[in-house]
Structure formats: C-alpha cells, structure tokens
Amino acid sequence: MTSTATAETTPDTGLDHLEIQGVKKVFGENTAIARLDLSVRRGEFLSLLGPSGCGKTTLLRMIAGFEHPTNGHIYLDGKDIVGLPPHRRPVNTVFQSYLLFPHMNIADNIAYGLKQAKVPKPEIAQRVRDVLALVQMEDFAGRKPEQLSGGQQQRIALARALVNRPQVLLLDEPMSALDRKLREEMQLELKRLHTKLDTTFVFVTHDQDEALAMSDRIVVMYDGVIQQVGSGEDIYANPHNGFVAGFIGKQNFIPAEVTSTDGGTAQMVSANSTVMETPSLDLRPASAAGKAGTLSVGDRVRAAIRPERMRVAPAGEETGRPNTARGKVISTSFLGDVIQYMIVVGDNDELLARVPAAGNELLAADAEVDLSWDADAVAVYGFEGGA
C-alpha cells in the first residue's frame, strides 16, 4: 500500500515541486479523499480551500506524513515520500494551535528541532537570530510564550517551522484563532515572508477571503474531490460548477426554467415570473460530479448573478439592460466603499446587490426599486442530479 522514498521516481518537469498522483484516503467505510491528482509548483503559494470535512486537512496531513494514503503516490522533487516518517521529510507544519513549549523561552522553542538534529551550537544560534529577524521578533528571544499575544505566538510558530529550512511549508488554518484585524495583518505578514523565501507554501483554510488575498493558486475542494484549481481571479470570474460559484464570493442563485434558446441566446423565467436572458447556451454542472451540457427548453436550472454586477435604481428609472426586475428593499448596509442591498423580487426571490457608494444614493428600506443586470452577468448551472 505504501512505498519508500527511493522506490519510485516521477519525471522532473522543472516546474512541479510537489506531485500528488492518484491519492485516495479511506477511514473505515468513509472516503475522506477520492482519487486525487494535483501538481504544486516550486515556490508558489497554494491554498486548499473548502468547507469543514472536505478533505483539505487530510490531504495536508498526508503530505506531512501524519497520515498515509490508502492508494497513490506523493512525489517531492521526483521522489516518492509515501512511507517516510514526518521527521525525515523536508517539510514542516504550522498547526492551528501553535504548540509552543510553555517552559522554554522563545529562542529555545525555535531551536528545539535543530538541537534534536544535532546541529552545531554556533549554527543554531545564528539560524535562530536570522529567523527571528525574518518574522520581526528579534527583541522577544528571552520571553516565554505566555508573555506573547496570539499574533506574536503565531510568528514564533512560523519561525520554528522555517528555522529548519523546509522545502515545503504546510499551514493548517494557522490564523483561525485570531480576530479579524489580526488575521488581516498576518495575511500580509505571510505574503511578505513568502516573497522573501524560496519555499513552497501549502495553506489550508475554509476562509475564501483569506485564500483570495494570499494565494497564487487555489484548490477548491468538496466531499474529498477537487472542484476547481486556478488563480483567485480565474475561479471568481469563471467558476466551473455551481458549488464553486456559491462558495467563492457572494452569489445570487435564482431557480428558473429555460423557455427559449433562439438565436444563440437563452431566456429563463423564475417561479416569481422574473424573466432573465443570457448570451450563453452552456449549462454548467452543479458540482464536479455533474456534467456540463447545452441548455434546452424546459431545463430546470439555477441562474447565477454576482451582487456587484447588479444595478439598483429607484422604481421607474430606465436602465437599458435586458434583465430588469421590480423589487422592494428589505435591508440596507453601508459598508464604506459599497452599499449593500437585500431586495425581494416577487414573493420570495431575495437578491443581494452591491453598488459603489460613490455617486449612488443610499436607498431606504421598503423603497421600490428596479434591479437590473447585463445578460453576460448570468451563468447557468444545473441542480444536483441533473437540470
């Protein structure tokens, strides 16, 4: 079931640093990871993104060596590392809990792994100084962990992992315990570190904003299956299926039925008689398990529109857009640079719209409005099990 690091090699492409081929993980009768293939480029910041239970942490633990694949191979620089214990892999992991030794000062915490590896003392001292400078914590070497804030402890956990000079740094939701402001600061800190180091980062998170802010590429996972891999911009603008469309960013989904596909344009109508038009005849699947297809009259679908693609105007104002619906504002939120509206159309089509705060009037709750969007703002997805 497993193999040693020298048992097999995979061709060196010159780009892919970490290759995961045909990996599957089963716990008893539960499949945590279905057959999975993934290439990680040397020096990139790759995020594994998905809801709890999607398999992202299990995948990270298999790379680290804390779990073994039921099937498949994990290659690092062409060598299969499945079967190697964690301490013999050139990777280090930063966990959700920082696991700092409370009885040791910060310098000794960082130096612990080097001492276990019997690195000469002068080299240990220099490497500890260097990594403390890297995380901007030089003045804290003599303190105990309890004397540090959460953000400072996280920096020390990063320093302890980086001092061993890993080829791959694995980060398992390391910022989950921090408040929002500190998380945003640490996102910038991690990006700063990544740009300074020739190290591949594999980052696990369930926070889409975190993944979008930091990643070179994002791997969206659900139910042990990769749904999509790409840059944050690509995934946001062109989600491959309904799950990705709903998980990355805000999305309005409107159940509808296709009524026409004439002239290369599809028309749909919702249960509340909202008529929609899209220039695309492509039907995207609900998830990676579904199949894409072509829209046909009578298909039951979900029309998807991003909130920022919508325009909100007082009722009766001409919009000139092909998709327009009369609605009522049920809530208004001023978010600084944007105004967010929740608008009900018909009996129960609740749609989220976001418009720039600059140049737009703040409309009150209960105001009647015209909600509109361009035809190319509409993507069409099937329901799970078929459209």
Which candidate, 208, 193, 219, 168, places its Cα nearest to that of 62? Answer: 168
Domain identity same for 262 and 228? no
For tokens 């001092």, name the residue: 163
Q: What is the pLDDT of residues 196-210, one digit of tens each?
A: 888 999 999 999 999
One domain for residues 191 and 145: yes
Q: Report the pLDDT averaged over residues 18-39.
A: 95
Where a domain ends, among 242, 265, 289? 242
Percent of the chain with pLDDT over 70: 95
State the pLDDT confidence band at 319, using cuts at 50, 70 and 90: low
Residue-level pLDDT at 15: 52
Q: Please check whether residues 370 and 223 belong to one and the same domain.
A: no
Average pLDDT over residues 363-367: 91
pLDDT tier, 226 (very low <50, low <70, confident <90, very high otherwise): very high
Helical residues (DSSP H) of 100-200, grouped into ranges: 106-116, 121-134, 150-162, 180-196
Asked, for residue 315, whether it belongs to a domain, the answer is no
Using the predicted structure, report yes or no on whether residue 1 has a pLDDT greater than 80: no
Local structure of 118: helix, strand or coil: coil
Residues 249 and 238 placed together within one structural domain of the fold = no
Indicate if the pLDDT at residue 224 is higher than 70. Answer: yes
Task: Spell out the alpha helix ranges (H) of 178-241.
Answer: 180-196, 208-214, 232-237
Looking at 215, 242, 269, the residue that finishes a domain is 242
In a domain, 348, yes or no: yes
**Nearest one of 166, 172, 87, 99 to 127, comparing CA atoms:** 166
Residue 237 sits in the same domain as residue 249: no
Q: What CATH number does residue 351 fall under?
A: 2.40.50
Verify that 126 and 88 share a domain, yes or no: yes
Instruction: Give the CA-trace dihedral at 195, 199, 205, 207, to 10 degrees.
Output: 10
Say whether both 143 and 269 belong to one domain. no
Closest C-alpha among 10, 96, 78 to residue 42 = 78
Environment class of residue 115 by beta-carbon count within 10 Å: exposed (0-12), middle (13-18) or buried (19+)?
exposed
Determine, yes or no, domain membership for 1: no
Mean pLDDT of 365-376: 92
User: Mean per-residue pLDDT for 258-280?
Assistant: 90
Are 61 and 187 within one domain?
yes
- Location of structure tokens 């079967």: 83
Q: Taking 80 as the threshold, does the pLDDT of residue 25 lie above it?
A: yes
- What's the DSSP call for residue 9? B
Assess whether pLDDT exceeds 70 at residue 345. yes
Statement: residue 369 has pLDDT above 90: yes
pTM exceeding the 0.85 threshold for the entire prediction: yes
Closest Cα partner for 47 from 223, 227, 206? Answer: 206
For position 178, which CATH number holds?
3.40.50.300
CA 152 to chain centre: 24
Instruction: Please check the confidence at residue 386 and state whether its pLDDT lies above 60.
Output: no
Helical H segments across 167-281, by residue range:
180-196, 208-214, 232-237, 242-247
State the greatest distance between any 2 C-alpha atoms of the chain, in Å, as a whole number.
Answer: 78
Q: Domain for residue 301, yes or no? A: yes
Residue 18 tokens, joined: 């970490």
Domain edge (last residue) among 193, 216, 242: 242
The answer to whether residues 208 and 286 belong to one domain is: no
| pLDDT value at residue 65 | 95
Provide the token pair at 171: 């980060």
Got the DSSP string for 38-49? EEEETT-EEEEE
| Res 252 pLDDT > 60 | yes
Classify the C-alpha dihedral 242-246-251-256 as positive or negative: positive
Q: pLDDT at residue 47 above 70?
A: yes
279 vs 322 pLDDT, higher one: 279
Identify whether residues 169 and 79 lie together within a single domain: yes
Q: Is residue 86 part of a domain?
A: yes
**Residue 244 pLDDT > 60:** yes
Residues 33 and 130 in one domain: yes
Q: Can you give the pLDDT at residue 6?
A: 37
Given CA atoms 112, 115, 117, 119 in this order, what sign does their dihedral have? positive
Do residues 236 and 172 share a domain? Answer: yes
The two three-digit tokens of residue 127, written as one number: 């490497």
Q: What is the pLDDT of residues 92-107, one digit of tens each?
A: 998 877 778 899 999 9
Asked whether residue 386 is domain-assigned, the answer is: no
Instruction: Determine, yes or no, domain membership for 293.
Output: yes
Is 52 a domain residue? yes
Number of domains in the chain: 2
**Domain enclosing residue 30, as ranges:** 16-242
pLDDT tens digits for range 138-193: 899 999 999 998 888 888 888 888 888 899 999 998 887 777 887 888 888 888 88
